[in-house]
Amino acid sequence: PKYETIEWSNPNEKNLVAEVSIKTPKLYKPPASVTLKKHSSGRTIRVLCVDVGMKCNQLRCFLKRGVEVLVCPWDHDIVAAADQYDGLFISNGPGDPAMLDVTIKN
């Protein structure tokens, strides 16, 4: 039988995180049935999640604990957004972490 030649590419040479990461920041709020965790100022606690391949269950785990979650792209300037969150979570992701210079520098 004849076999088709398929071109192979090394996935570690691509920035897979840039492909799978959210493109713009998005705020998620806990469902109404959940007791909100409050900051001493009275506002709801917010966690900034840097999406480098975030799974939906990771988001659900935060929301069911009563915190707001601001999910941002892998290359988001987290220092500039420091006044918008109380905690920081960097998700795991695909590919070679060496491709994430921008994330690491932020």
pLDDT at position 62: 96
Q: Look at 81 and 4; give whichever has higher pLDDT.
A: 4
- Domains in the chain with CATH codes: 11-105 (3.40.50.880)
Tokens of 46: 């917010």
Whole-structure pTM value: 0.81
> What tens digit of pLDDT does each residue of 12-35 get?
788 888 888 999 999 999 999 999
Tokens of 104: 């690491």
Sheet holding 68-72, edge to edge: 26-28, 68-72, 46-50, 87-90
> What tens digit of pLDDT does each residue of 40-91 get?
999 999 999 999 989 999 999 999 999 999 999 999 998 887 888 999 999 8
